[in-house]
Structure 1
Amino acid sequence: MSTAPATTVVALKRTAGAERTLVCLGFCGGGTAAYHEWAAAMPAGTDLLAVCYPGREGRFAEEYADTWDALAQDATAAVRAATSSGGPYVLFGHSMGGWMAFDVTTRLAAAGDPLPDTLVVSSCNAPDRGLTARDRFPARGDADGELLTWMSVHGLLPAHVLDDEDLTEMAVELMRADIRVRDTFTYTGARITVPLQVLSGAEDAVVGDDAGDRWGGLTTAAHRHDVLPGGHFYTPGVWRTLPDRIPALTAADGQPTAPATGCTGQGTGGLSG
């Protein structure tokens, strides 16, 4: 059985005799902290794990990944280790993490490894059009202040970070490292065979109107699209209880329930943090 250090696969909630596991992948400029408050919202019998990418939190001493492929290899190994017990699991990714979760699922399939019962992608456009100019948002050329504004207004940057020069510098460095990785993404033409749930915010200008339909074309299984209140990270209340919006965590077969397709999100398109 393969294992991963606790600094790579962070256990946010463990329950005796868990029936399934929710495994979360991070967004651009983020770590596992954004998922800590989900522990209180997890359904009974469900473990909560989060993958920590190199260069942050417990892996602070490690070098950042320098390409999308390098980060995807790292994330795939982490998910493989996190699910090595063989129990059913749901894989979740937010924003850039949605593309990463999709990529990880295709890599697991190619290797013949156990696949998630459902893939859940949140606040991201379908990757089949590749990385376009509109997907580079925030952009590599943005000034530090612009990145901090994005993270504080559209992301989950804690307010206390803005009052600490060292923490602010670290946050910008991390965001820039992840933007460099994001900008090396290429779509390989892969599709998945597992059920898919797409989540998007009604007021998120990053996600295009066609997100639900385009994502649905990337799986041969059932899919659904749920539009939630708020922007890129929804409303604070929705984000804190987002596991409640994932039917696969309570469905007997671990798959998303009807509708197979839902209404499409609103916005102009693009991939960000």
Structure 2
Amino acid sequence: MKDTTVVRPKREPKATKRFICLGFCGGGAGSYMKWADAMPPGVELAAVCYPGREGRFIEDFVEDWDELVDDALDAVISAAGIPYVLFGHSMGGWVAFDIAARIEERGGPVPEALVVSSANAPSRGLTAVDMFPSQQDSDEQLTAWIQEFGLMPEHVLSDPDLQEMAVELMRADIRVRDSFRYRDGSAVSTSVQVLTGDSDEVIDPESKELWRKVAKGEFRHTELPGGHFYTPEIWNTLPSHIASLNEQIPSSPARRDVAVAWRGRHGRSPQ
């Protein structure tokens, strides 16, 4: 897998665990790069870049949900050479869940833990509340939304052409998100941690209970200050709130063997 797809900003040759992050609607691998220096000892950060952005800018956007998940699943498996924790924020939480469920169904190297942030339970299905920003929003509204949540770097804010590209990317992701359909019966057995903001109006009050129904293993819910992206202070240090990164879990040589064998059967190269 190319470095433009799985971005590892600070390579740790002696890492015993990898924290693999999946992007939210309109986001990219760059949204997680600031966490590289905040990783606990022995943990390496890796972020998946979806087609059509950053290092994969020349590639076409994916057309629908299944195409996105297939692309991201390949990336995750390529980075699963050591035990890993799978993370997704907002739309990325559904991507992470879908990938973890599919890997488990196929007997692949499952994550040690699945962490979903600011995401309703996928079994609830896509509702009007989840569809924000929306396809009906104007370019100006989308630009304002990106600015509000700090998703647009300063050099983009000052360049109309780059702003236009950011909006195009957002619209492409919205179309993909709106094609999401929960696969009836899909669930995960790995440990699951759900993070939500205490003032996030997008999250269903029943979200914890709904997530628990598709999380068959250990489950925990952590409520944090702020809205959909928490407070800036919380977002910048979010890995410190993830239990599976801060609790030492012994690595299993057998698990590594499973990962290598699974990739070999599916023609994927380890990274």
TM-score (norm 1): 0.88
- The one-letter amino acid of 1:154's match is F
2:108 match: 113
Give the Cα separation in 1 of the matches to 2:11 and 2:240. 18
Deviation of 1:162 after TM superposition, in Å, equals 2.5
1:74 match: 71
- The one-letter amino acid of 1:217's match is K
Q: Select 1:227's aligned residue among 223, 226, 231.
A: 223
2:241 match: 245
Deviation of 1:155 after TM superposition, in Å, equals 5.0
1:204 pairs with 2:204: no
Give the Cα separation in 1 of the matches to 2:232 and 2:200. 14
1:54-75 Cα offsets, whole Å, 9 max, x none, are 0000100000000000000000
Matches within 5 A, 1:1-273: 4-83=1-80, 85=81, 87-189=82-184, 190-253=186-249
Give the Cα separation in 2 of the matches to 1:202 and 1:17. 37
User: For the Cα contact (< 8 Å) 1:154–1:231, is it kept in 2?
Assistant: no
| Stretch moving more, 34-43 or 206-215 | 206-215
| Stretch moving more, 173-182 or 196-205 | 196-205
Deviation of 1:203 after TM superposition, in Å, equals 1.6
User: For the Cα contact (< 8 Å) 1:229–1:238, is it kept in 2?
Assistant: yes
What is the count of residue pairs matched by the alignment?
250
Deviation of 1:158 after TM superposition, in Å, equals 2.5
SS in 2 for 1:199: strand
Contiguous gaps of at least 5 residues in structure 1 = 255-273
Give the Cα separation in 2 of the matches to 1:196 and 1:155. 28
- The one-letter amino acid of 2:36's match is A
Deviation of 1:253 after TM superposition, in Å, equals 2.5
In the superposition, relative to structure 1, how do residues 198 and 155 fare at CA in structure 2: closer, same or farther (>3 Å)?
farther
Deviation of 1:159 after TM superposition, in Å, equals 4.1
1:161-190 Cα offsets, whole Å, 9 max, x none, are 222101110110000000000011100120
2:260 match: none
Deviation of 1:245 after TM superposition, in Å, equals 0.5
User: For the Cα contact (< 8 Å) 2:84–2:111, is it kept in 1?
Assistant: yes
Give the Cα separation in 1 of the matches to 2:187 and 2:109. 16
More helix by share: 2
Deviation of 1:101 after TM superposition, in Å, equals 0.2
Give the Cα separation in 2 of the matches to 1:15 and 1:183. 37
In the superposition, relative to structure 1, how do residues 209 and 155 fare at CA in structure 2: closer, same or farther (>3 Å)?
farther
1:30-51 Cα offsets, whole Å, 9 max, x none, are 1011101101110011010000
| Stretch moving more, 41-50 or 143-152 | 143-152
Give the Cα separation in 1 of the matches to 2:94 and 2:178. 12
User: For the Cα contact (< 8 Å) 1:10–1:49, is it kept in 2?
Assistant: yes
Deviation of 1:160 after TM superposition, in Å, equals 3.9
Question: Identity, % of aligned pairs?
Answer: 53
User: For the Cα contact (< 8 Å) 2:124–2:210, is it kept in 1?
Assistant: no
Runs of 4+ aligned residues of structure 1 deviating over 6 Å after TM superposition are none
Give the Cα separation in 2 of the matches to 1:155 and 1:97. 17
SS in 2 for 1:49: strand
Give the Cα separation in 1 of the matches to 2:160 and 2:105. 44
| Stretch moving more, 149-158 or 62-71 | 149-158
1:267 match: none
Task: Say what the alpha-carbon RMSD is for the aligned residues.
Answer: 1.4
- The one-letter amino acid of 2:96's match is A
